[in-house]
Each structure stands twice: as C-alpha cells, then as structure tokens.
C-alpha cells in the first residue's frame, strides 16, 4: 500500500513542481480563467449577496478569501490559487490511490492506475487553469468515504461540498443507491443534498435577487461546444460577458447565441428514461461495477447537456482509469484528452472556431463508445472481487 502511494506521488510532484518552477507567471496563467476569477472576486461586495456568479457558491466565496489574503494583488492571488489547486490535485491522487488499491486488493499490481493518473494530474494544464480540481477532489473523497466503513455522514458532507463547488458530483448518487445499503445511501444523499439546499436556502433568504440570478445564469447561456450547439448554429465557448455585468441581475438572463432548436427540457425525458432503464437493470456485485455505472451516468448527462467545457474531462479520467481494463482505459482517456486539448487551447485560442464540428463530433463519438464500455463493465462479475459492503 505504501509503495502504491509513494511512487505516483513522486511522479506527480516531479512533473507539477518542474512545471511551476519553469513557467513564468503569464505562462502559468496560460489560457485559463485566472484573470476572470480575480476580476470577479474584485467586484464590490460578496458573490450571491451583492453580485451574481455563474458558479455554485463555494469557489466564489473561497476566491474572495484568497483575494483578501493576497491584499488585492493579482499575482499573489494567482499563486495562492495555484497552490490551492496543487493541494487539491495531490489529495485527489492520494484518494485515487486508495480507491485503486481497494479495487485491486486481490491482484498483483494495483499501482499502474495511480501512476498514470499522477502523470496526467501533474502535467495537464486544465488542473490549474480552472477550479474543477476542487470538485474532483470532493468527488473522489465522497467515493472513498462511501466505500469505506466510515460514518456515511462524512461521505455526505464531501458530496455536499462537491455539489457546492460544481453540481456534477450529484451524478454519483444513482450508482451509490444501487451499491450501498439503503440506509447508508439515504444518509449520504440526505447529508449531501441537505448541505447544498441549506447553503442555497440561506443565500436565497439573504439575497433572493442575486441568488436567483446566479442559479438561472447557466440555463440562460444556451448551447456551446456540443452537437446541440452545432444544430443551433452556435460556434462559441460558454463564457459570459464582462465581469461588471454581474452587478446587474438582469444580465444573468440575457440570452447568448442562437435559441435552441431542440430545448434541453425536450431531450431530458429521452435521456432520463434511458438512464432510468439502465439503472433498473443495474445489479452491482463489486465496487468497480458501481464506479463504471457512475461513469455511465456522467456520459448520459454529458450527451444530453447543451454545453461542454474541455476541463470537464477531469471528472471522467479517474472513473475511466479505475473502472475500465488497462489498455482500453489508456486508449479512451488518452483520446479524450487529446481531442479536448486540440479544441482548447490549440484551435479555439487561435480563433479557429470553424474546427468545432470536427472536435465536437470526435468527442461525442468517444463519449458514446465510453458509455457502452462503462455499461459492459458495470455488468461484469469478475471472480475474487470485493463484495457489497455490509452494515450502514
């Protein structure tokens, strides 16, 4: 166990520290959203209370704290955020290693998955250009705590913090309800969703205008970087306008791009019915199958979603490496990463928006293939695998 931890950690530290030391300040910020995060935090007042934010509340408030600690100096703020994301990625690697060791307890060499994940985390710029690393950390923490014999409230708290960072960790719930005993699943769900509802409820009571604008902003954004965006004729990213617009709640509802030819609500019953049908047929006998179904849930959601941001690949990579066979996991994870890097920053940062049909169609095909393989693995019953945890 110690060896499976130490080697990937050394690889991660060598790769990430080398990059951080070698790149100049502008190179570290690169094509990410650091400038946007700083400008948003520099607005007068607090998010959700005095201006609206397109993100769930945890990171905007954390960003305000980093701004205060930095004394308002942008370069210090950026370095503090880089260190925070560095810590989140290191935590994710340790959690991933524990999950890999748990899943591979009866096989001779569990460390390769963590080693590959360490190399990806160490060198992939998405992990520090954006704040998704925080949500990935809480996602893996919720999984590890759910699979352990720790009190389920701890897993629920991790899930709730993940939902308050990005909404995506809520996609773990269908798989957890099939894998965990009902009482434990209810605790995880109740604490996680209850924490998120309590925070949003408090913000709504304190500032209904800006909280509602924050919640509605994503729905008003329209479609971007997906097949739905191609259908709508939207060839742009999912960025909002200047930060100063966050002071006006009406700006959160301003439509962006062309209207949807097929509204998201119209496609939801189709994808929802598919997910429900598969969930009813899902009967896990091992943790790896539960992780595979979590990956399948993510894929179904992403195929339905009107938007896609390249850094969202960070949520799929650990599930791919944990749940799929070795060679297939490397092939699919590598292909998905390359397609997203080709889209951003290689092409879109240079203004080649006419390339979007190519990258969108390639990514959609990969997601469909990934979904099929996740479903296959969610039904695999391998001899010697760890069985359902007891208690709860």
**Residue 58 belongs to some domain of the structure:** yes
Model pLDDT for residues 318-338, shown as the tens digit of each residue: 999 999 998 999 999 999 999
**Residue 9 belongs to some domain of the structure:** yes
pLDDT of res. 5? 59
pLDDT of res. 381? 58
**Residue 387 belongs to some domain of the structure:** no
Count of domains observed in the chain? 1
Residue 122 sits in which domain range?
2-378
Which token pair is 45? 């007042």
**Residue 355 belongs to some domain of the structure:** yes
Calpha distance 332→318 (Å, rounded) = 12
Which 3 state secondary structure label does DSSP give 183?
Answer: helix
pTM here? 0.94
pLDDT of res. 126? 97
The list of the chain residues with pLDDT below 50 reads 1, 4, 106-109, 382-392
Calpha distance 362→278 (Å, rounded) = 25
**Residue 172 belongs to some domain of the structure:** yes
pLDDT of res. 222? 87
pLDDT of res. 383? 45
- Contacts for 308 with CB less than 8 Å, ≥ 6 apart: 224, 225, 226, 238, 302, 360, 363
């Amino acid at each position: 166990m110690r060896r499976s931890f130490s080697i990937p950690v050394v690889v991660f530290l060598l790769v990430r520290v080398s990059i951080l030391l070698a790149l100049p300040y502008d190179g570290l910020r690169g094509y990410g959203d650091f400038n946007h995060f700083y400008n948003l935090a520099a607005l007068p007042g607090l998010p959700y209370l005095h201006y609206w934010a397109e993100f769930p509340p945890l990171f905007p408030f954390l960003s305000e704290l980093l701004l205060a600690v930095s004394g308002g100096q942008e370069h210090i703020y950026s370095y503090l955020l880089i260190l925070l994301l560095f810590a989140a990625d290191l935590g994710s690697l340790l959690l991933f290693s524990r999950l890999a060791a748990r899943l591979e307890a009866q096989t001779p060499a569990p460390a390769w998955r963590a080693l590959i994940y360490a190399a990806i985390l160490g060198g992939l710029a998405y992990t520090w250009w954006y704040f998704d690393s925080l949500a990935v950390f809480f996602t893996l923490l919720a999984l590890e705590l759910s699979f352990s014999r720790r009190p389920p409230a701890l897993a629920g708290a991790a899930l709730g913090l993940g939902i308050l960072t990005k909404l995506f960790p809520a996609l773990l719930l269908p798989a957890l309800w099939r894998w965990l005993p009902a009482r434990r699943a209810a605790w995880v769900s109740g604490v996680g969703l209850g924490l998120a509802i309590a925070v949003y409820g408090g913000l709504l009571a304190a500032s209904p205008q800006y909280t509602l604008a924050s919640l509605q902003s994503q729905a008003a954004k329209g479609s971007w970087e997906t097949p739905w965006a191609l259908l709508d004729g939207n060839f742009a990213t999912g960025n909002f306008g200047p930060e100063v617009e966050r002071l006006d709640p009406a700006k959160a509802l301003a439509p962006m791009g062309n209207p949807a030819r097929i509204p998201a609500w119209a496609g939801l019953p189709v994808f929802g019915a598919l997910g429900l049908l598969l969930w009813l047929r899902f009967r896990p006998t091992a943790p790896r199958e539960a992780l595979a179904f979590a990956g399948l849930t993510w894929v179904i959601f992403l195929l339905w979603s009107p938007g896609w941001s390249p850094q969202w690949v960070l949520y799929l990579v650990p599930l791919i490496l944990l749940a799929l066979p070795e060679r297939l996991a490397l092939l699919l994870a590598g292909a998905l990463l390359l397609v997203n890097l080709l889209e951003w920053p290689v092409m879109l940062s240079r203004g080649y928006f006419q390339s979007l049909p190519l990258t969108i169609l390639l990514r959609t095909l990969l997601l469909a293939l990934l979904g099929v393989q996740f479903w296959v693995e969610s039904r695999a019953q391998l001899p010697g695998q760890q069985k359902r945890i007891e208690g709860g």
